Amino acid sequence: MQDIDINKATEPYEYYLKFIKENCRPDNRRLSDIRPCNVTTNCINTVNGSSLVKLGSTNVICGINARLCRPKEDRPNKGYIVCNVEVPALCSSKNFKSSTQSSSFSQSSVSSSTIEQTQAMLSQLMQDILTESKCINEEELCIKVGKLSWVLFIDLICLNNDGNVQDACCVAMVSALKNLRLYQIEYNEEEDKPVVKYPLEYKSLILYNEPVLTTLFAIEENILLTDPNKHEEDFMKTFVHICTIDSQKICLIRKLGGFCLKIEQLNMCITRALDNGKYIRENVYKNKY
Amino acid sequence: MQFLETKLEAQLGCLTKPDGSAKFSINDTVQICGVYGPGEVKLMKEIAERAYVNVIYKPRVGANTNREKVMEYTLRSILDGIILTSLHPRTAINIIIQEIQNDSNFISCGINCTCLALLDAGIPLKFTFASVRLALTEDDNSIVYFPDSKQDKKIKISATFIFDSIDKDVISSNIDGIFDTKDFEYLMNNAKQYAITNIFPLYSKLINEKY
C-alpha cells in the first residue's frame, strides 16, 4: 500500500496512466462519466435570479441582476445581457491574484495562463453560449422601443476550483436564467419614466433551448475523457469545449492548441457531448424552479 | 460552393528590430507580427524544462479588452504545443501582433501571420500551421471564405479552423452558430481543401524566395 502513495507523489502522471490503461480513473469514474451535478436555485435574496452548482467539488454561484436602461442606439428594440466570470484567489491554490505569477508548477502547457486571461476567456465563452444558442430572445427584454429595456448582468463566481469551471458555469447560468423573475414595468409617456405595477407581478423569461457545455480532454493520442478535475487538468494535452442545445444540434465548438485530433475523434467527442447534454437536461434542468 | 476572390498577401522580414517578422493581409484585414526569441525571461515566469511563450495582441485603437485577452490565450495555448519549447529551457519567446486593419478576419490573419514570423525568426516548430475561416450563408447555403463584416450579417454558421502541414489534421477549431455533425464535416473538409490549395503553397513560395 505504501508503494502506491509514494508513486502518487513522485510520479503523478505515471500513476494516473496506470488507471487509464484499465479504463477507469482514480475517482472511480469511467472515462466518459461526469461527476455528480447538483443545483440549488433561489439562494441569494438580493438578486433577481440565482443558482449554486456543485459539479463534484467544483462550486460555482451565479447571480443575475436586472436593471432598467435605455437600449443601445443600433438595437432599439432589444435589451442586452452582460456576462462576467470571476475566478478569485480563494477558489484554488493556483489562482493567485497577482498577474506576474504564472502557474509554472503545472506540467500542462495548454491550461496554464494568467488570471486575467482565464477570466476573459470564461466570460467570453459564456457570452458566446448565450448569443449562439439563441436561448433568450433579446427583444423580449425590451419594454418600450427606443426608450426602456432590461439589461441583465450575469455574474458567475467560482467558489471552489476542482477543475472544469466552464461546464459548471454554463449549468449555473442556465439554471439562474430559469429562476429569473422580472417585475412587470410600464412606461409613462408623459413623464418619461418607468412605472412599477403594484401589486407586484412577476414574469419569467422564456428559454427557447437549454444549452449544455461539455469539456472533453485528451492525455495520450487516442484516449479521450470527459470532465477533467484539477489533477487531470495538469496532465491534459488538449481539450475541446462543445455546447449542445438539444439532442442533435450543436451551437459551439472550441478546440484550442495541444496536439491535433482526427476527424473520428472529433466525431466521438460530439457524440459524447450530445449524450451528456441529454443526461443533464433530463436530470438537472428538469427540477422545479 | 463559391470561391469568392479572396486576396491573400504576405511579406517576410518587414521589421528590422525583431528576430523575425511578417505582415499578412486577407482582403481588408491586415496584421503585422514580430517575434523575439529565445531571449531573457523574468524569474517569475521562468520554467525549468521549457521556454515560456508570451503573446501580446495590440488592437488598432483603444485599450486591451476581453477580445484581445481571448485572442492572446488562444494563440498561446496553440503555440505552446507547436513550438519545440524543450529545446530552449529557461528562456522566453515573445510574440507581438499589431492589428493594422480589421475587417472581422482578425483571428485567422493573426495566426497565419504568427506562423510566418516564427519561420522568419528560425524558431524550431513541429510543423507549420494555417488558419481558414469560412461561413455558410443564410439564403442559399453556399460557402463564403473569409467573410468580411458586411457578409457577416447574412451568415448562419461561422467556423475558423487551424490545420497542420503534415497530416492536415485539425489543431484548433472555433465554430459558432446552430449546426449538426454533417454541417461540421462539410465545413471542415472544405476548409482543409482551401488551406491545401491556397495557404500552404503561399508559405512555401515565401520561404523559397527568402532562402
**Are A250 and B164 inside 8 Å of each other by CB?**
no
Q: What average pLDDT score do residues B64-77 get? A: 88
Q: What average pLDDT score do residues A88-115 get? A: 61
Q: What average pLDDT score do residues B68-95 get? A: 90
Nearest-CA neighbor of A249 among A116, A133, A93? A133
Q: What average pLDDT score do residues B124-131 get? A: 92
User: Angle at the Cα of A264 (from A261 to A269), degrees rounded to 5?
Assistant: 75
- Statement: residue B22 has pLDDT above 60: yes
CB pairs under 8 A between A and B: 119
Q: Using CA atoms, how far apart are residues A62 and A144, in angstroms rounded to an integer? A: 28
Strand partners, B164: B129
Pick from A40-49, A194-203, B38-47 the range whose average pLDDT is largest. A40-49
For residue B23, what pLDDT is reported?
A: 93
**Are B66 and A262 inside 8 Å of each other by CB?**
no
Q: What average pLDDT score do residues B13-24 get? A: 91
**Are A258 and B76 inside 8 Å of each other by CB?**
no
From B44, B69, B80, residue closest to A109, measured CB to CB? B80
Q: What average pLDDT score do residues B70-93 get? A: 89
From A104, A120, A259, residue closest to B69, measured CB to CB? A120
- Statement: residue B49 has pLDDT above 50: yes
Q: What average pLDDT score do residues A122-148 get? A: 89
Interface of A with B (CB under 8 A): 100-102, 104, 109-111, 113, 116-118, 120-121, 123-124, 128, 131-134, 237-238, 245, 248-263, 266-267, 270
Partners of residue B51 in chain A, C-beta under 8 Å: none
Q: Chain B: nearest CA to A243, how far in angstroms? A: 10
- Statement: residue B74 has pLDDT above 90: no
Three-state DSSP class for B197?
helix
For residue B77, what pLDDT is reported?
A: 85
For residue A107, what pLDDT is reported?
A: 46
**Are B180 and A249 inside 8 Å of each other by CB?**
yes
Q: Any chain A CB within 8 A of the CB of B46? A: yes
Q: Any chain A CB within 8 A of the CB of B64? A: no
**Are A100 and B52 inside 8 Å of each other by CB?**
no
What residues of chain B, 181 to 210, have a C-beta less than 8 Å from chain A?
Answer: 181, 184-185, 188
Instruction: Please give the DSSP secondary-structure letter assigned to residue B51.
Output: P
For residue A105, what pLDDT is reported?
A: 44
Q: Any chain A CB within 8 A of the CB of B77? A: yes
- Statement: residue A265 has pLDDT above 50: yes
Partners of residue A83 in chain B, C-beta under 8 Å: none
From B175, B178, B181, residue closest to A245, measured CB to CB? B178
For residue B31, what pLDDT is reported?
A: 93
**Are A104 and B78 inside 8 Å of each other by CB?**
no
Model confidence at A95, pLDDT cuts 50, 70, 90, reads low
Task: Return the minimum-mean-pLDDT range out of A82-86, A98-102, A184-188, B66-70.
Answer: A98-102
Q: Any chain A CB within 8 A of the CB of B165? A: no
Q: What average pLDDT score do residues B48-68 get? A: 89
For residue A101, what pLDDT is reported?
A: 46
- Statement: residue B203 has pLDDT above 70: yes
For residue A100, what pLDDT is reported?
A: 47
Q: Chain B: nearest CA to A216, how far in angstroms? A: 14
Partners of residue A249 in chain B, C-beta under 8 Å: 178-180
Q: In the numeric block, which cell numbers belong to residue A286?
A: 428538469
For residue A64, what pLDDT is reported?
A: 94
- Return the residue of B nearest to A264 by Cα: B185
By percentage, how much of chain A surpasses pLDDT 70?
91
Q: Any chain A CB within 8 A of the CB of B81? A: yes
**Are B176 and A251 inside 8 Å of each other by CB?**
yes
For residue A79, what pLDDT is reported?
A: 87
From B164, B172, B177, residue closest to A256, measured CB to CB? B172
**Are A262 and B44 inside 8 Å of each other by CB?**
no
Chain segment B92-122, per-residue pLDDT in tens? 999 999 999 888 888 899 999 999 999 999 9
Task: Name the more confident of B204 and A247.
Answer: B204
Q: In the numeric block, which cell numbers belong to residue B103?
A: 475587417
Q: What is the pTM of this model?
A: 0.86
For residue A102, what pLDDT is reported?
A: 46
Q: Using CA atoms, how far apart are residues A35 and A231, in angstroms rounded to an integer? A: 14
Q: Using CA atoms, how far apart are residues B148 and B146, in angstroms rounded to an integer? A: 6
- Statement: residue A271 has pLDDT above 50: yes
Q: Using CA atoms, how far apart are residues A113 and A104, in angstroms rounded to an integer? A: 9
Q: Chain B: nearest CA to A266, how far in angstroms? A: 9
Task: Name the more confident of A236 and B92.
Answer: B92
What is the longest distance spanned by two Cα atoms in chain B? 56
From B67, B81, B175, residue closest to A252, measured CB to CB? B175
**Are B42 and A100 inside 8 Å of each other by CB?**
yes
Q: What DSSP letter does each residue of chain A carry, written as one string?
A: -HHHHHHHHH-HHHHHHHHHHTT--TTS--TTPPPPEEEEES--SSSSEEEEEEETTEEEEEEEEEEEEPPPTT-TT--EEEEEEE--GGG-TT--S-TT---TT-S-SSS---HHHHHHHHHHHHHHHHHHHT-S-GGGGEEETTTEEEEEEEEEEEEE-SS-HHHHHHHHHHHHHHH-EEE-EEEETTTTEEEE-SS--EEEPPPS---EEEEEEESSSS-EEES--HHHHHH-SEEEEEEESSSS-EEEEEEESSS-B-HHHHHHHHHHHHHHHHHHHHHTTTS--
Q: What average pLDDT score do residues A106-134 get? A: 79
**Is ipTM > 0.95 here?**
no
Chain segment A172-181, per-residue pLDDT in tens? 999 999 989 8
From B53, B66, B170, residue closest to A124, measured CB to CB? B66
From B80, B180, B185, residue closest to A110, measured CB to CB? B80
- Statement: residue B2 has pLDDT above 70: no
Residue B177: CB atoms within 10 A of its CB come to 20
Task: Return the minimum-mean-pLDDT range out of A23-32, B9-18, B158-167.
Answer: A23-32
Task: Name the more confident of A219 and A38.
Answer: A38
Q: Any chain A CB within 8 A of the CB of B180? A: yes
Q: What average pLDDT score do residues A237-251 get? A: 87
